[in-house]
Chain A
């Protein structure tokens, strides 16, 4: 039979594959984090937690929604202790299934109200704002509301990334705050101005720099990254709106502790660390997000997160992205 040599080879390779891992598993019983935020962004801060606390951490990095699906599938048998999510919607879905434990009052109180769960099951860690990036090569008169970009004067001058997730959360907020009709009319008005489609936020900001468009609807941190890369004379600036304009929606990445965690103290310490001054400063300096801890300043080029006067919206209610995608499709913003 052909099986013998193959079986030997297979056994050998399986042993090789598992070599270091089986033994390592029981060693220190590390804290298990499911992170929907990418390793490129949060890897350093997680390493810093281990260094500060001595608690080893194993991270599973994947898409936030897919991790939420896995958590729902695992139920109370999840090996995860902590869920670090890119957006509040996924945390809301996991909390609704009764899988998250209530966080300590101290951890909840570290961020301004509105950036944590009213039921205390998750807390925001860092914020990202919608903004309008604009060219500095000519003097522009920017409107006071994102809603005013439907003015025909902006025809051919707008760049956007309608397939992008953050843009879609913004449209969802627009639907929630102003109603379906306003959202539809706004999208149709922008489309009437022949906006330039970009595949991603970065490309849209680069489009402004290249003079292809005058303004672009993006998240705030892309411009700061591009300035870091290209230098201070990068010909783009950005505008935040005030008076609770939906154009400055602030969304958060947040964290929750699994009810089934067998090390709730370490998990709580992890949450506390993410909201510590060190970690918050990291987010501010390295990912250019808004720190949520009071006393830690955002990048000097950014306004205070409180001063943005972001619209008053329950972030975990922004879950109906499906409806947004359908709306975008109906008006022809995406194929």
Chain B
């Protein structure tokens, strides 16, 4: 074990001495510049407002909001990990009945927009909600309130739990059982073996998934506003909504970014301690752990999580459909919206994978201050509330590329940049595994550049490329603020249709795009898992 770590780190250091090739640097530089757009915009906007723009920062309320935002972010880390980690392990490594189906059901909630989940939860668990009524009729009279901190943590943990599931599954797939067995053969007990051989590999993956969950939660507006929990993000929206104050909003957004970068830095510290333990070489498939009499409690846990994350919104949509008549207009419009949603999501997924590959390579192969800065900028873009990000792209496009303003190109590019970190994160593990020595070995066996690519590079990167593409695609499918504000006039997507009808309480109309959205997400996750593109 320790020898393999030493070898790996020596190998990385040797590679680290060489300078990255210039096309790689150029592409990375372009992406990095693009991630600076929102930061420059926010700084200019805040500066524009003069001293007045700083006023929101010095309200006593702002300190409360900083605390409530951090509390939410950290609680969602705990929540998403305690749901996602067991789900990933149970659906991948154990003899849980119908494992594959549960795998799909554990990842599919990713395409349920968090505001839809929050809305469904309010409908179900608010006083007089249908779930509350059911629970009360079963004798549970003190159903806790869905509003406030607890509700926001529960809903956002459920909404972001798939990030942890996906990252953990990828790490579990890379885990070499030989290491664990070696530790045990050297006399370590099972827990000790897990600590030495499993934790160091899982930690970075779980950390990366939890970080995505955490940043999603602190930048979220839809769910927290429905659940009446105030964070910096709701305060930023209030600045736009109630005061039309873009400068005050910008200074609050900068504060939120500061918190996000603090969290990114903290996660980086945790990760660095475990970074070098990635195994490499030929793997064997790990054995399946028999659950024994834990089988039923495990099944109950998985079932309950899926019921909450997927069942509650699906039942809510069912109620909407049952509660009114759907106009045919809604059906034909949903068809066009479906086409637009698919094209935008596919475009963003493909573009994200292309842009993330060199970024991930750079970060994995040439670690250093430059690479971490680039990575942190990607996280920063992810943690900016949608409306601020949209306004940044509005201003940038109008000034730098007016011809692209409110075109589908600019929309796809903006969505790609927002979620690029997801694709880069999914590629991080496979990139570390792609040791230069593997490539050299293939070369020495007479393979040309294309041959190496085909026989070594792509097969090793493939799980990361697919997982990254899937993450970005599902995120793009549910993206609302960027789509509303940056799409060409007259372009509707499934989420804009859903939002448009739901905000007027035309729930039967909202049900159609919502159901299609869930079906598309479910089908794409199922397809990828079935074809073995995502480890099952």
> A residues touching B (Cβ–Cβ < 8 Å)?
1-3, 6-7, 9-10, 13-14, 16-18, 21-22, 25, 30, 32-34, 38-41, 58-63, 65-66, 68-70, 72-74, 77, 79, 90, 93, 163, 196-197, 199-202, 207, 212, 222, 229, 319-322, 325, 334-335
Contact between chains at A199 and B457 (CB < 8 Å): no
Nearest CB on B from A123, distance (A) = 20
Q: Which of chain A's residues has its CB closest to B21's CB?
A: A1
Question: Using a CB-CB cutoff of 8 Å, which residues 344-362 of chain B contact chain A?
Answer: 344, 346-347, 350-351, 353-354, 357
Q: How far is the CA of A312 from the CA of B355 in the complex (A)?
A: 58
Contact with A along B302-313 (1 / 0, CB 8 A): 000000000000
Nearest CB on A from B354, distance (A) = 5
Q: Which of chain B's residues has its CB closest to A44's CB?
A: B329
Q: How far is the CA of A134 from the CA of B187 in the complex (A)?
A: 77
Q: Which 8 A-B pairs have the closest CB atoms?
A: A58-B489, A321-B242, A322-B242, A58-B490, A93-B244, A60-B489, A62-B484, A65-B241
Give the number of residues in B that approach A within 8 Å (Cβ atoms). Answer: 62
Chain A residues with Cβ below 8 Å from B488 are 21, 25, 58
Among B229, B350, B390, which residue has the most Cβ atoms of chain A within 10 A? Answer: B350
Q: How far is the CA of A229 from the CA of B508 in the complex (A)?
A: 12
Q: How far is the CA of A18 from the CA of B458 in the complex (A)?
A: 29
Nearest CB on B from A93, distance (A) = 4
**A/B interface sample: 14 pairs, CB < 8 A:** A7-B354, A17-B408, A21-B491, A34-B489, A39-B492, A58-B490, A63-B241, A63-B484, A163-B228, A199-B226, A200-B505, A319-B243, A319-B244, A321-B242
Contact with A along B470-484 (1 / 0, CB 8 A): 000000000001001
Chain B residues with Cβ below 8 Å from A201 are 505
Contact between chains at B484 and A14 (CB < 8 Å): no
Contact between chains at A74 and B394 (CB < 8 Å): yes
B496 close to chain A: CB less than 8 A? yes
Contact between chains at B402 and A17 (CB < 8 Å): no
Chain A residues with Cβ below 8 Å from B226 are 199
Contact between chains at B354 and A6 (CB < 8 Å): yes
Contact between chains at A199 and B126 (CB < 8 Å): yes
* Given A73-B394, A322-B243, A335-B238 contact (CB < 8 Å): no
Chain B residues with Cβ below 8 Å from A207 are 128
Nearest CB on A from B209, distance (A) = 25
Contact between chains at B409 and A18 (CB < 8 Å): yes
Contact with A along B257-269 (1 / 0, CB 8 A): 0000000000000
Nearest CB on B from A19, distance (A) = 8
Nearest CB on B from A66, distance (A) = 6
B398 close to chain A: CB less than 8 A? yes
Chain B residues with Cβ below 8 Å from A30 are 490
Q: How far is the CA of A294 from the CA of B354 in the complex (A)?
A: 60
Nearest CB on B from A86, distance (A) = 10
Q: How far is the CA of A63 from the CA of B238 in the complex (A)?
A: 13
B320 close to chain A: CB less than 8 A? no
* Given A13-B347, A22-B407, A40-B509, A73-B391 contact (CB < 8 Å): yes
Chain A residues with Cβ below 8 Å from B127 are 196-197
Q: Which of chain B's residues has its CB closest to A78's CB?
A: B398
B406 close to chain A: CB less than 8 A? yes
Q: How far is the CA of A43 from the CA of B242 in the complex (A)?
A: 26
Q: Which of chain B's residues has its CB closest to A61's CB?
A: B500
Among A13, A40, A61, A74, which residue has the most Cβ atoms of chain B within 10 A? Answer: A40
Contact with A along B225-257 (1 / 0, CB 8 A): 010111000000010111110100000000000
Q: Which of chain A's residues has its CB closest to B128's CB?
A: A212
Contact between chains at A70 and B391 (CB < 8 Å): yes
Contact between chains at B500 and A72 (CB < 8 Å): no
Contact between chains at B228 and A334 (CB < 8 Å): yes
Among A14, A25, A334, which residue has the most Cβ atoms of chain B within 10 A? Answer: A14
Contact between chains at A10 and B350 (CB < 8 Å): yes
Chain B residues with Cβ below 8 Å from A7 are 354
Chain A residues with Cβ below 8 Å from B509 are 40
Nearest CB on B from A198, distance (A) = 8
Q: How far is the CA of A325 from the CA of B481 in the complex (A)?
A: 23
Question: Using a CB-CB cutoff of 8 Å, which residues 120-169 of chain B contact chain A?
Answer: 122, 126-128, 147-148
Q: How far is the CA of A207 from the CA of B126 in the complex (A)?
A: 13
Question: Using a CB-CB cutoff of 8 Å, which residues 487-536 of chain B contact chain A?
Answer: 487-492, 496, 500-501, 503-506, 509
Q: How far is the CA of A73 from the CA of B402 in the complex (A)?
A: 14
Contact between chains at B485 and A2 (CB < 8 Å): no
Q: How far is the CA of A210 from the CA of B10 in the complex (A)?
A: 73
B343 close to chain A: CB less than 8 A? yes
Q: Which of chain B's residues has its CB closest to A15's CB?
A: B347
Q: How far is the CA of A200 from the CA of B226 in the complex (A)?
A: 11
* Given A17-B408, A207-B128, A72-B354 contact (CB < 8 Å): no
